Chain A
């Protein structure tokens, strides 16, 4: 329902830790916050190639979670409209310039028989990672 706002257009940059890969600011397309155990997937397709789930983490208000950990996180929530950071590692550093990013979020909503969530795809310029020269 907030699909078009999943990907934050000003939130795509190289990783802060210097490893190859990037960070993308994302929001949950839902009208309330959810405990992270109910966030089943935040899948990234970069330039038409799926980034394996084990190469991604979700940083929610400063805490980094792997997607193996998240099903058990029942004491931390991703708030409505809150920016989280989808951090991902790639084999090679990302090239400067524009990239095609697509994010699919799957949520387990208790009153719905099927998964909720949403999908967004945008073409975004890569910003340098924090601390790097522009």
Chain B
């Protein structure tokens, strides 16, 4: 399997891709098919395709030969390359008990099989994968030439005990099998405006919204925000916003450098691309140079998450939002090359 061609420059080997998750609004409403999503990615000059099988493959977990044939035809026809699939671990599949470790491992194996058939070399493990299941699934991943990467997703970060436990397993097993997929949502510097604006439309009191946003933006203590909002007379909408402020985190992008050997893919999460071509809350102009400096040689994969915050008031145009982010990433990758 050939990796996607780097988009520009010779000082880095970073490629650009898009998670089809980004088009969830359109796919949910069936205004875009899976093929339309792939075509849109190709049209904006990105080459890597990341996919959530349980979102995009009708009949999952059964993957028909017909779908696999169509999938590979699309990749050839649009000049795209599968870069990653996303696996979810339904530990609570049954209402009365957790899946055993063996059952969880089987679930991961099934997802690895799907990645192999789709031609993707990486499987994203959601943050609820335990270190134990990562270690138990590692031999199967290695045997099938697939890397299993744990998403580092807010509110978790590299020094969080849950991630530290994972890092110990990764050290033991090796970066060729297990690694990290940082979600750029751990680098939220400014509170996403689409989220606070939505709260205002939902009736949140402006002074409480302002207080929550300022506390976050000033790196204030968010731990007791819900309590303070309560003391100030807030209700459910304000509580939800305050909780959100504890769920976003700011991590210095330079923290990625220490973990670079384990970083195999990056989720380029974003909430809002502004008219002037930047991301409102996540400083990609600081993130991309760190990836270049660290010799990251994987895919920067767009993950648009703004749709759910604007759909009440605006027409969602995920394609335009992703196109803007891809354009920004292209520019940043070119400038740093």
Binding partners A and B: yes
A interface residues, Cβ below 8 angstroms from B = 1-2, 4-5, 27, 31-35, 37-38, 40, 71, 74, 77, 79-81, 108-111
* Smallest Cβ-Cβ distance to B30: which chain A residue: A81
Supposing A71-B95, A79-B58 touch, asked if A31 and B21 sit within 8 A by C-beta, the answer is yes
- Return B99 CB to nearest CB of chain A, in Å: 9
Q: Are B27 and A38 interface neighbours, CB within 8 A? A: no
Which residues of chain B from 65 to 100 have a CB within 8 Å of any chain A CB? 88-95
Contact pattern, B 10-42, Cβ under 8 Å of A = 1, otherwise 0 = 000000000001001001111000000000000
Q: Are B55 and A80 interface neighbours, CB within 8 A? A: yes
A80's contact among B27, B91, B94, B311, by CB below 8 Å, is which? B27
Which residues of B lie under 8 Å from residue A79 when comparing CB positions?
58, 60
Q: A34 vs B88: C-alpha distance in the bound complex, in angstroms?
A: 10
A110's contact among B29, B60, B90, B311, by CB below 8 Å, is which? B90
Q: A33 vs B24: C-alpha distance in the bound complex, in angstroms?
A: 12
Beyond A38-B90, A80-B28, A111-B127, 20 additional pairs, beta carbon < 8 A: A2-B311, A5-B29, A31-B21, A33-B60, A34-B90, A38-B92, A38-B93, A71-B95, A74-B94, A77-B54, A79-B58, A79-B60, A80-B55, A81-B29, A81-B30, A108-B92, A109-B92, A110-B88, A110-B89, A111-B128
- Return A39 CB to nearest CB of chain B, in Å: 10
- Return A108 CB to nearest CB of chain B, in Å: 5
- Return A26 CB to nearest CB of chain B, in Å: 13
Q: Which of B30, B127, B308, B312 has the most CB of A within 10 A?
A: B308
- Would you call B116 an interface residue if the criterion is a C-beta within 8 Å of the partner chain's C-beta atoms? no
Q: Are A5 and B28 interface neighbours, CB within 8 A? A: yes
Which residues of B lie under 8 Å from residue A33 when comparing CB positions?
54-55, 60
Which residues of A lie under 8 Å from residue B90 when comparing CB positions?
34-35, 38, 110
Q: Are B94 and A32 interface neighbours, CB within 8 A? A: no
Q: A34 vs B92: C-alpha distance in the bound complex, in angstroms?
A: 11
Which residues of A lie under 8 Å from residue B311 when comparing CB positions?
2, 4
Which residues of B lie under 8 Å from residue A27 when comparing CB positions?
28
Q: Are A37 and B30 interface neighbours, CB within 8 A? A: no
Q: A79 vs B54: C-alpha distance in the bound complex, in angstroms?
A: 8
Which residues of A lie under 8 Å from residue B89 when comparing CB positions?
110-111
* Smallest Cβ-Cβ distance to A71: which chain B residue: B95
Q: A27 vs B27: C-alpha distance in the bound complex, in angstroms?
A: 13
Supposing A31-B21, A32-B55, A111-B127 touch, asked if A77 and B60 sit within 8 A by C-beta, the answer is yes
Q: A22 vs B89: C-alpha distance in the bound complex, in angstroms?
A: 36
Q: Are B93 and A2 interface neighbours, CB within 8 A? A: no
- Would you call B63 an interface residue if the criterion is a C-beta within 8 Å of the partner chain's C-beta atoms? no
Which residues of B lie under 8 Å from residue A111 when comparing CB positions?
88-89, 126-128
Q: A32 vs B58: C-alpha distance in the bound complex, in angstroms?
A: 11
- Return B90 CB to nearest CB of chain A, in Å: 5
- Would you call B169 an interface residue if the criterion is a C-beta within 8 Å of the partner chain's C-beta atoms? no
- Would you call B332 an interface residue if the criterion is a C-beta within 8 Å of the partner chain's C-beta atoms? no
Q: Are B54 and A32 interface neighbours, CB within 8 A? A: yes
Which residues of B lie under 8 Å from residue A74 when comparing CB positions?
93-94
Which residues of B lie under 8 Å from residue A40 when comparing CB positions?
95
Q: A98 vs B314: C-alpha distance in the bound complex, in angstroms?
A: 27
Which residues of A lie under 8 Å from residue B54 when comparing CB positions?
32-33, 77, 80
- Return B265 CB to nearest CB of chain A, in Å: 19
Minimum-distance CB pairs A-B, first 7: A111-B128, A81-B28, A1-B308, A32-B54, A110-B92, A110-B91, A32-B55
- Return A6 CB to nearest CB of chain B, in Å: 11
B95's contact among A1, A2, A108, by CB below 8 Å, is which? A108
Q: A110 vs B104: C-alpha distance in the bound complex, in angstroms?
A: 12
